[in-house]
Amino acid sequence: MTSPQRRRGVVVPAVAATAFAVLALALWFGGGRPQPAIQGLPSPGTLTTWGLPVVRLVHDVCAAATVGVLLAAVVLAPASGRAVVRAAGAWALGWAASAAVTEALTLSDFLGLPPGGALRSGALPAFLLHIPQGQAFLAVTLAALAVAAGSLLPDGPLLRLTLLAVALLAVLPPVYVGHSASAADHNLAVLSLMAHVAAVALWTGGLYALVAHLRAVPGLAVAVRRFSTLALGCFAAVGASGALNAWVRLGSLPLLWQSRYGLLVLAKIAALAVLGWFGWRHRRRTIEAMDSGGARAPFLRLACGEIAVMAGTLGLAVALGRTPPPAETATAMHQHNALGYALPPLSPGALVTEVRPDPIALLLLAAALAAYLSGVRRLSRAPGGGEGWPAGRTASWLAGLAVLAYATSGGVAAYAPALFSAHAAQYALLGAVGPLLLVFGAPVTLWRRARPDGDPAGGPAGRALSHPVTALALYALPYAALYLTGLFGYAQPSLALRLAAQTVVTVTAVLFLAVAAGVDPLPRAIRPQVRAWMLAGAIAVRVWTGLVVLSEPPQAPEWYAALGLPWAPDRAGDQRLGALLGTGVTVAVLAGLLALLLARWRAARRRTAAAVRSGRSVGAR
């Protein structure tokens, strides 16, 4: 009988051989293999031409493994030991090293010089700081090193979650400078590919973590069941985002079989179908066997085969990135050059009918919806029935997600890059309306009731973030940074900066409103008077920034002038409208919450006074 160590000694080389064999075959078929040098023209040489895709495959494997191991530490097996986080740190070091080598080889390819000559040319600093490809992999290198260093810090749930978030963000920069960045409707192409890459990292890395790091833990069946649910969502996300990206890149269905790029896309579709079969097999056989106390070996054997297919698919994806896509079709000419998509004149109806789907935001919102409804379902199925979960809380959570979905993918999101008033309305939805509805959904209370053994406090970091001064400062910072420092002028033309700003505004608003509203239990007790002062301070900050925007010179004048939209309203008037609209909606939401808190505080004081008077009356008798 073959020992587990010997089986692992066979599986690892087999998986690596599959990945590199598929990479080589796809490079040969797609045209990414080394071509004979043309006399008189610069050439990076065979080392760069073959080395760049090979190192990029190693980079992608290390990234997926880092994300997957951290996913295991945060979601699949939170009770796992410190060794799992340390393993993520080791993979992150490999990720940082492969990103650094990728930078050197990309510079070689960029200059048309062998790696040694490229490094000696003195162009590396300019490449890292001013060229998008260099900036992207420099960001990856620094983020991966941060994850590796963070894995050495004192362990805690918030640290693990932070490391996972940093690792997930670090897989995105290379996507931003790839083929999709130059495609027609490039924003949608980039966003769909970002969602695709993040889902792939969670899926492939999570399965690797199960097999390599959780195979011997007592709670493997529970971890596998959790991963199965996540894998199903990742499968759907990978399929949907991949189809969307392929459609944007190809433009027509016949190019799927009429171009080498399209044929490689078909190969990826076939690989996805095979992985779907693996998932179906797991759900029908191996997971049920483990749940009933059966052996783990069938699951591990099937998972090793699945990992081999995933490794081959990663090789195929790297080769696809080196394959020239078909020439852009005539439909691409109808897109606005700066926006990346056609935008009709603004009208009330267009704010309803125009849709600019943000795949990343929609996937995150879908995950939040699924997690919340899963908690509600778990409460309803609890032994003894329990009290269930209030329908009003669920309705508030659903409404908050709907508002955020519209703000990131609806008509206001389509017009936000082109009109300051639409941008201001979008930020009012992202920074006030949506987060407040989410907070009244009481997600922490639901999580505590559904998982009584959990600890949502987050340790010392959770207490620090829930401090009133910290929460208020984090809420005020994005608006001051955007409108008072000129950052808004840099953010509007940049998809990455816009996404980052929207994320920061939404997250800080949720944190601030969760502390100020007091719907959920917090790591620290906060008096009602302090909550009232927090809301008053937030109102003052928003009024101040609104007045600055109302009275200061135009925001991002170069960007709006470059757009050249013939139907655009007067820029000064649009900025005034945006300042009034964004500030007015946000202040109305904060003032409404302040009035609600004061009413509840007074009602509680009246009840306390009545109880005291009743007690004195009884004592007198």
Same-domain check for residues 374 and 316? no
- Asked if 174 contacts 201 with a C-beta cutoff of 8 angstroms, the reply is no
> Average pLDDT for residues 135-152, to the nearest whole number?
93
pLDDT value, residue 140: 94
- Asked if 245 contacts 180 with a C-beta cutoff of 8 angstroms, the reply is yes
pLDDT value, residue 334: 46
The residue range of the domain holding 356 is 352-378+387-552+573-616
> Average pLDDT for residues 515-527, to the nearest whole number?
85
Question: Is residue 1 domain-resident?
Answer: no
**What would the pLDDT profile of 207-222 be if each residue is shown by its tens digit?**
999 888 888 777 788 8
What is the average pLDDT score of the chain? Answer: 84
The enclosing domain of 115 has a CATH number of 1.20.1630
Same-domain check for residues 358 and 280? no
What does the alpha-carbon distance between residue 595 and residue 597 come to, in Å, rounded to a whole number? 5
Same-domain check for residues 278 and 358? no
DSSP state of 430: I
Number of domains in the chain: 2
Residue 394, both tokens: 């669920």
Confidence of residue 332 (pLDDT cuts 50, 70, 90): very low
**What would the pLDDT profile of 589-616 be if each residue is shown by its tens digit?**
999 999 998 888 887 777 776 666 666 6
Q: Is the pLDDT of residue 178 over 70?
A: no
Same-domain check for residues 252 and 187? yes
Same-domain check for residues 271 and 363? no
Question: Is residue 371 domain-resident?
Answer: yes
- Which of 457-466, 469-478, 501-510 has the weakest average pLDDT? 457-466
Same-domain check for residues 309 and 365? no
Q: Residue 469 burial by CB count (10 A; 0-12/13-18/19+): exposed, middle or buried?
A: exposed
| Per-residue 3-state assignment (H helix, E strand, C coil) for 463-478 | HHHCCHHHHHHHHHHH
**What would the pLDDT profile of 542-553 be if each residue is shown by its tens digit?**
999 999 998 878
- Asked if 398 contacts 434 with a C-beta cutoff of 8 angstroms, the reply is no
Same-domain check for residues 307 and 408? no
Rounded (to 5) percent helix, strand, coil in the chain:
75, 0, 25
- Asked if 523 contacts 465 with a C-beta cutoff of 8 angstroms, the reply is no
- Asked if 331 contacts 402 with a C-beta cutoff of 8 angstroms, the reply is no
**What would the pLDDT profile of 412-456 be if each residue is shown by its tens digit?**
999 999 999 999 999 999 999 999 999 999 998 888 887 766 555
What percent of the chain lies above the pLDDT cut of 70? 87
pLDDT value, residue 464: 80
What does the alpha-carbon distance between residue 248 and residue 254 come to, in Å, rounded to a whole number? 14
Question: Is residue 485 domain-resident?
Answer: yes
What's the predicted TM-score (pTM) here? Answer: 0.75
The region that residue 121 occupies, defined by phi over 0 for left and psi between -120 and 50 for alpha, beta otherwise, is: alpha
Same-domain check for residues 305 and 398? no
What does the alpha-carbon distance between residue 444 and residue 457 come to, in Å, rounded to a whole number? 9
- Asked if 418 contacts 361 with a C-beta cutoff of 8 angstroms, the reply is no
